[in-house]
Structure 1
Amino acid sequence: MTDETHSTPAPTPAEAAAEAAMLQDATKRSRRAFIGLGLAGLAGLGGWRWLLGRPQDEGIPAPLRKVLDFNAGLTQDYYQNTRLAPEFAKSQARAPRANGNVGLGAENFDPATWRLTVHGYAPAGTAARSHEFTLAQIKALPRTEITTELKCIEGWSVIVSWAGVRFADFLAQYPLATRSGQPIADPNHPPKEDTPRYVGLVTPDEAYYVGLELESALHPQTLLCYEMNGQPLSQEHGAPLRLVSPLKYGIKHLKRIGSIAFADTRPKDYWAELGYDWHAGH
């Protein structure tokens, strides 16, 4: 028995020439691709530098703000109060993360001393004024329960069971002021030409604030919420009263509402000032 060593046969001159040509062509293509990628990278870098050099508009470069406003305009144009967020069985509800404590103030906050101040409240036939409401007055209104998905701008979501008063039911009992001074016949569908376009909500310490279109506030699933998963709200989740608006991301679900005001101009919004979309719908 002998050991056999297998070797690769040497290429013929024609094969060697073809291989060399292939290598040369591959080198040229690689060089062109590298140069192309480099130019694209430089163009992207230049574009990014150009973008960062644009004037700021509400916390971000103006061109980006225009894109967000354009998308928001489309959202508002196609918004319908008949569109509802999906609802789930209560058994699927879970406790959400207590993301952020901006606006929750001191740890020794006493819910018993809390009051909700509404600016622009107008009892039938009277001029607009400010008025304070207790939690007992709010809880005396028709109770609504929904189990919906809370979606965070960070990318996570969780199903939560909420209970409270529909914003629309609150305004039906405590109507907002109109330009004409006439009472609103249908609080769920107030005449646009006679009512403010926006609602602003602020925490008691005024550290956190959000703005909503009046249509979003009147959405049948928008709640002034005082219970979560069958229990009164904890302080970290906004006791004694928070906003729930299932068609909006969680950054709009203001915890611990201190005041509500109505306006014709878009109210300031905490996260919009940091560069996020003011409407924050999904």
Structure 2
Amino acid sequence: MKTTANKPQPVELSIEKKIKRRNFISFATFFVAGGAAFGGWKWLYNSPEEKAGITGGARQPLRRALNKTELFFRRIFSNDHVVKTYPKERAARVVRVNSDIGLTDESFDVSRWQLSLVKKKGEVLKINIEDLKALPKTEIVYDFKCVEGWDQIQHWAGLRFIDFIDYYQLHDQAKMGYVGMETPDGEYYIGLDMESALHPQTILAYEMNDKPITEEHGAPLRLIIPVKYGIKNLKRIGMINFSNQRPRDYWAEQGYDYYSGL
């Protein structure tokens, strides 16, 4: 007498074959994608570097991609697009310190600091911190973002850059394309597109958590520009100038995105 106890076996084998086939497809896809990614990385790694200038250190295809990304962001940029703000109690009490480039001059004396404002070629106006503190103060609590991937809600206060422009009669300079800033020792420097510099949330900050900024955070005056990554938020501003050509920029010369917008 024949038995039918083993009849389900073909179905089980069929399911096992499907599983094996799916595993094979998955592994094959993984290796093909991995190979393509490695090939792409190898191609980019072996691509010629861009010609060093205002930007430098990046491979030519990467720089082209960064430039196209900048154009995209600049086309959609608007002063109506403001970053999210938070109540003061959300701000970090211990504010992260990430770099001391431009802050290592042991001869620097905060009490003798003056801002050099280059209005025209050969015309430099010297401004002290009390001059700036006498003007209307603006506060902002926002999520400071670093290109390294971390972020922190921070509380800053100072003079809005657009108010600085108005008070010092810099309207002709504001029609130019760029703003350059650097530390007193010239070791750290940035270039900003004028649209971002004039954004209503951009401030020349002299307070952090309702107290004067500490030296490690850029005393007595630093830039807070929420629409940019931290690398553009210059500490210890020593000089401000204006131009229609891109000013030099420390990290752009190392291969980073010049625009660095959010």
Q: How would you bin the TM-score normalised by the shorter chain? A: 0.7 to 0.9
- How far the C-alpha of 1:18 sits from its partner, in A, is 8.4
Tell me what 1:202 maps to: 182
TM-score (norm 1): 0.78
Change (3 A) 1:92 1:107: farther
Equivalent-residue separation in structure 1 for 2:157 and 2:28 (angstroms): 60
Tell me what 2:101 maps to: 102
The amino acid across from 2:92 in the alignment is R
The amino acid across from 2:199 in the alignment is H
The amino acid across from 1:45 in the alignment is F
CA-to-aligned-CA distance 1:173-224 (integer Å, 9 cap, x gap): 213373xxxxx8xxxxx5xxxx210001111111111111111111111111
- How far the C-alpha of 1:129 sits from its partner, in A, is 1.8
Tell me what 1:60 maps to: 58
TM-score (norm 2): 0.84
The yes-or-no answer on 1:247 pairing with 2:247 is no
Change (3 A) 1:31 1:86: closer
Equivalent-residue separation in structure 1 for 2:142 and 2:234 (angstroms): 16
The yes-or-no answer on 1:155 pairing with 2:153 is no
CA RMSD of the aligned region, Å? 2.8
Q: Within 5 Å, give how 1:1-282 maps onto structure 2.
A: 37-57=30-50, 58-95=56-93, 96-107=95-106, 109-119=108-118, 121=119, 129-176=123-170, 178=172, 195-282=175-262
Q: Check the 8 A contact 1:128/1:176 in 2, yes or no.
A: no
Q: Check the 8 A contact 1:55/1:61 in 2, yes or no.
A: yes
CA-to-aligned-CA distance 1:108-160 (integer Å, 9 cap, x gap): 531012111122x15xxxx7722221112222222222222212222222222
- How far the C-alpha of 1:72 sits from its partner, in A, is 1.2
Change (3 A) 1:130 1:43: same
- Unaligned stretches of 5+ in structure 2? 51-55
The amino acid across from 1:165 in the alignment is L
Equivalent-residue separation in structure 2 for 1:27 and 1:74 (angstroms): 45
Q: Check the 8 A contact 1:128/1:177 in 2, yes or no.
A: no
Equivalent-residue separation in structure 2 for 1:108 and 1:63 (angstroms): 43
- How far the C-alpha of 1:253 sits from its partner, in A, is 0.8
- The percentage of aligned residue pairs carrying the same residue is 42
Tell me what 2:53 maps to: none
Q: Check the 8 A contact 1:163/1:226 in 2, yes or no.
A: yes
Deviates more, 1:239-248 or 1:103-112: 103-112
- Unaligned stretches of 5+ in structure 1? 1-10, 179-183, 185-189
- How far the C-alpha of 1:281 sits from its partner, in A, is 1.6
